Amino acid sequence: MPLNAPPSGALFMIYCVSNSINCVMSPPSRDDSPFLTGSRMGSMPIIEDNLPIRRLEISDHKKGFVELLSQLTVCPPLSESEFQDRFSEISNLGDSHCIYVVEDPTTEGIIATGSVFIEKKFIRGGSKVGHVEDVVVAKSARGLHLGQRIVKHLVDHAKAAGCYKVVLACAPELREFYEKCGFVEKNVQMTVYF
């Protein structure tokens, strides 16, 4: 099914939830300039040729993908079979749930990742919301602006899917990072853990 662009002039916002605080990024200008540009984005070096962003592949289990996620949150090791089963489930969702990675060409290890899934809504005329999750950059690769690139890539994917906004949750200590990406605080988040 082809992805539809949002209607002309559609409001496109990003919410970043920070424990009990949300952040919002201003919608892009109407001049169709690339998303996440301008003075609020700051200078982001272009290193895309060296470190391209690509979809997760089944072989990434052996390239440290799960270990990278453990730098973000609790992530016990998965056997190859467990990884393959989950990979297959997520892959079957197509463009509705995408995991992107950056691979270091010298070590062939995964050094950055993030995911986005698209939620279909009844509100706003049957609109869609993008959910950004699991954004992490390897400690050894921080400072290369890979986090900003991954976030931009995920947002671009959601925007192309016709989402009217993208939401994500972050820890308070990441507030500065998301401010560099153009976010401002907004709203409150509530959570129940099981």
The per-residue pLDDT for 184 is 65
Residue 190 located in a structural domain: no
Q: How far apart are CA 112 and CA 182, in angstroms?
A: 20
Q: Is the pLDDT confidence value at 173 over 60? A: yes
Query: 8: which DSSP letter?
Result: T
Higher pLDDT, 35 or 13: 13
Beta bridge partners of 185: 23
What total number of domains does the chain contain? Answer: 1
The per-residue pLDDT for 129 is 94
Give the domain extent around 120.
13-185
SS3 69: helix
Banded model confidence at residue 97, pLDDT cuts 50, 70, 90: very high
Residue 130 located in a structural domain: yes
Residues 193/41, Cβ–Cβ less than 8 Å = no
Residue 144 located in a structural domain: yes
174 C-beta neighbours (distance < 10 Å), count: 17
Q: Check which CATH number belongs to the domain holding 60 and give it.
A: 3.40.630.30
Q: pLDDT, tens digit, for every residue of 99-127? A: 999 999 999 999 999 999 999 999 999 99
Residue 193 located in a structural domain: no
Banded model confidence at residue 175, pLDDT cuts 50, 70, 90: confident
Strands 97-104 and 109-120: antiparallel
Q: Is the pLDDT confidence value at 192 over 90? A: yes
Q: pLDDT, tens digit, for every residue of 27-67? A: 333 333 333 333 333 333 434 568 999 999 999 999 999 99
Find the length of the chain: 194
Q: In whole angstroms, what separates CA 2 from the centre of its chain?
A: 21
Q: pTM of the entire structure?
A: 0.76
The per-residue pLDDT for 8 is 38
Residue 136 located in a structural domain: yes
